[in-house]
Amino acid sequence: MIWPFRKKPYDPDWLVEAARQVEQEYPWLPMALAACTESVENGWLYVRFIPSKRANKPGSEWQFRESVILEDTVHGDVIVDVLEGNRIGGVEFYDRLFEGKGESA
């Protein structure tokens, strides 16, 4: 069964700009983030670019590799979930964990 989701347009410009701070260590990251122009889930704490249904299981698109922290972005500190192949699975708005509920990014 395919997980039903609707893609929504997403502007990753703020992420691309924030990735410049770690570009020496992750030179591929700005380009990978620039490709994140559609989200499949967009909430207050997390925006997902690739469905995580059956994460890390054989055949799943979501094969986690590592997290990259981007500090002091326009949305505070964020954690970027990097998947195999330098694809971006999603972004967690870390600072928002300690704030109240609010609007989507």
Whether 85 is in a domain gets the answer: yes
Angle at CA of residue 70, ends 64 and 73, nearest 5°: 135
Tokens at residue 13, please?
């410009």
Mean pLDDT value across residues 32-57? 94
Q: Identify the band that residue 1 occupies on the pLDDT scale cut at 50, 70 and 90.
A: very low
Segment 15-34, tens digit of pLDDT: 999 999 999 999 999 999 99
pTM to 2 decimal places: 0.87
How many domains is the chain built from?
Answer: 1
Give the mean pLDDT of the chain. 91
Compute the average pLDDT of residues 73-77: 96
How far apart are the two ends of the chain, measured CA to CA in Å?
A: 29
Taking CA atoms, 69 is separated from 41, 58, 90, 103, in Å, by 20, 27, 12, 22
